[in-house]
Amino acid sequence: MVHWAANRTSRPTTYHDLPPEIIQQLADHVPFGDIGNLATVDRRTYRALQERRLSWLCCRRARYAREMDLASMQQLLAEIECIYAEPTLRVEPLDALWPRLADLPEEQQLAAFQRFFEAAGRVPRQGLQIQKEMIRSILNFPNRLQRPLYEWVYADAERRSREQGSTWAAVASLFRCSFSTASRYESEFQAFLGRLPALDVTGQADLLVELAMLLPGMRRGEHADAKIVQYYGMLQQRVQRLPASHRGAAIGMLAHVIWALPVEHRAVHYADLRHLTLSLPDHQLGDALHYLPSVLGVLPIEQQAHELSLLEPAIQRALPEHRIWVALGLLEGAVKLSEALSSQLWRRALRLLDGGDEADVLLVLEEIDDRFIPFLPAQQWENAKNEIRAFVERNPLSEDARAELLGYLEE
């Protein structure tokens, strides 16, 4: 009876009764920019969110400090590394701070880059992505720093353990923009190719994408065509060895550079890529179909319509979140084809966007307008406008989107 009475008179649980771990879980669902306000609710919340608040404060200082010298950057980095209990809370401030290396005097940038790179490596999981972005940013550094930075990240990539994750794909992206002799280019390409067996599946897939992007650089020196054919075939074989769950991006990039092959080799390699694409799981189709339809124009004219029809089962399986990329691939291909096939691709691409976010079609048209529409023959553009009008008529768009699309046709 006493226990029953106590329960009846007990007050309901409120926010102020929540234990610190529950407050921290609630904070996981609050936008990062609002953490400062949440931490001021009461003293208990302030203490429970101490590391989150430190992360938020460091992020604000990294983004909004007008001037940043080496001493202030090092001090801020030291504060970021004081986040011990939840190391992933270092990600936001590190991501905001490292791009400001460019604010430093040139003679300080190399040492600062190395220190920030190592700090990112001490962040579980997400730190690897920061390191990859830092590597790719090396091409934005002053010319005289690029080589020593390249050599430093190359050496780091060689000594990394599997647990740390591979950065070879990011390192290879730097080589694509370097200037070297044809023989040096090939030897460096072979060296990256030789790294593949030692990498895990994700590392192999990422590096294969970069190696495919490097292939056009082989189009110089003696026997260039033979080398392109040889290395293209080697990369395609490597892609076939990957699990289907990791092939999509590499297939797409091999399609993107298929123009580098001699004309007589393109059709057979395209057919192989299409066959691989049809066997992909749904979540991999977006990466492959972003490029595969866009290169239909490199095939013999008599094969283009047939190859497009063979892609249809894969297009139908494209996930909603990937349809914008597939639509872009289709419309990029439309620029290079006959009037009839061009109209077919416009119709198929816009049908793919039916019922989706109306911002998607605006984004697709803006992208195509910037890069391809100026090169469309007049009649193809008229046919395209008809397909856009049909899209507007059959979709329940907002007045703003409808006006923007119709206004786009009048430009």
pTM of the full structure: 0.85
Residue 17 pLDDT > 70, yes or no?
A: no
Q: Residue 95 has what pLDDT?
A: 94
Q: Residue 39 has what pLDDT?
A: 67
Q: What is the pLDDT of residues 279-309, one digit of tens each?
A: 999 999 999 999 999 999 999 999 999 999 9
Q: What is the pLDDT of residues 136-173, one digit of tens each?
A: 999 999 999 999 999 999 999 999 998 899 999 999 99
Q: What is the pLDDT of residues 48-103, one digit of tens each?
A: 667 788 888 888 899 888 888 899 999 999 999 998 878 888 999 999 999 999 99
Half-sphere exposure of 13 (CA within 13 A, CB side): 4
Q: What is the pLDDT of residues 1-15, one digit of tens each?
A: 445 444 545 667 776
Q: Residue 5 has what pLDDT?
A: 46
